[in-house]
């Protein structure tokens, strides 16, 4: 039996990268997957199509999760879709993955860059989880995406790292709040991953790749699937006694 059979998993930022990998893996394990995305209709439909071609079930929801109105729009669509597909607007797992990165040391970070990152990375994650509370089934799961950069530091990611530091604290607070319902809350913290967001400095750059490998105990750079597999495990009942944790999936980066 697949580990997520008869479950509903909601994943934001699922049209590419880590979210896409998580959506594919959760669907493979039997879940009905809601593929949240911001703007790229073709990419989101490609994910849904790939899931359905493999015999899985999925649907896409477009919304800007950096605003309350966008979050409420997301849930209005989600409720309608779930009522049609399952008979009730309830789900088992929220993976709050949507986020943005703007590189820059503190001296170079603009107010606009700071506000954009915190609006989506922190405010969006907070209110997505808030709206999920009444819809989550007891015994379910909430996952936030953190980063290895809340343990090891790079000055070029100061504001981004700060936004994810807020996620680490939010994880613990919400885990305590939802624990009596058997709902686990954890943060997944990847290290460097070969995704589109890192392509401009990592792909086709053997020197950068060699440098990063030298910092990783497992001597390779992660692929999106490595993180997707962790997320799928956390969505399963096998992870039921793990909560309030920042789970670093970095291959041992900067040990």
The owner of tokens 């990592």 is 202
Measured CA distances, 238 to 51, 134, 190, 210 (Å): 23, 23, 21, 36
| CA 184 – CA 242 distance, rounded (Å) | 7
- Nearest CA among 35, 26, 34 for reference residue 89: 34
| CA 159 – CA 217 distance, rounded (Å) | 27
Does 157 qualify as catalytic in the annotation?
Answer: no
The 10 Å Cβ neighbour count of residue 180 is 8
How is residue 74 written in tokens? 């997301």
| CA 14 – CA 140 distance, rounded (Å) | 19
Please tell me which residue in 37, 75, 157, 160 is annotated as part of the active site.
160
Query: Among all residues, which ones are annotated catalytic?
Result: 160
């Amino acid at each position: 039996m697949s580990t997520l059979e008869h479950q509903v998993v909601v994943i934001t930022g699922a049209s590419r990268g880590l979210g896409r990998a998580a959506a594919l893996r959760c669907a493979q394990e039997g879940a009905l997957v809601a593929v949240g995305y911001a703007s790229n209709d073709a990419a989101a439909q490609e994910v849904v199509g790939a899931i359905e071609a493999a015999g899985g079930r999925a649907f896409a929801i477009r919304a800007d999760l950096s605003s309350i109105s966008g979050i409420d729009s997301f849930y209005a669509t989600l409720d309608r879709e779930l009522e049609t597909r399952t008979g009730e607007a309830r789900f088992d797992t929220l993976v709050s993955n949507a986020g943005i990165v703007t590189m820059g040391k503190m001296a170079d970070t603009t107010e606009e860059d700071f506000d954009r990152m915190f609006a989506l990375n922190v405010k969006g994650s907070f209110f997505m989880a808030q709206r999920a509370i009444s819809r989550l089934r007891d015994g379910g799961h909430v996952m936030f995406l953190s980063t290895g950069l809340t343990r090891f530091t790079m000055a070029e990611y100061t504001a981004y790292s700060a936004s994810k530091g807020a996620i680490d604290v939010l994880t613990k607070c919400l885990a305590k709040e939802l624990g009596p319902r058997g709902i686990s809350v954890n943060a997944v913290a990847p290290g460097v991953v070969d995704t589109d967001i890192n392509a401009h400095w990592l792909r086709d750059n053997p020197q950068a790749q060699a440098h990063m490998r030298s910092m990783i105990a497992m001597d390779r750079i992660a692929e999106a699937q490595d993180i997707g597999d962790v997320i799928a495990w956390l969505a399963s009942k096998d992870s039921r006694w793990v909560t309030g944790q920042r789970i670093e999936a970095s291959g041992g980066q900067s040990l």
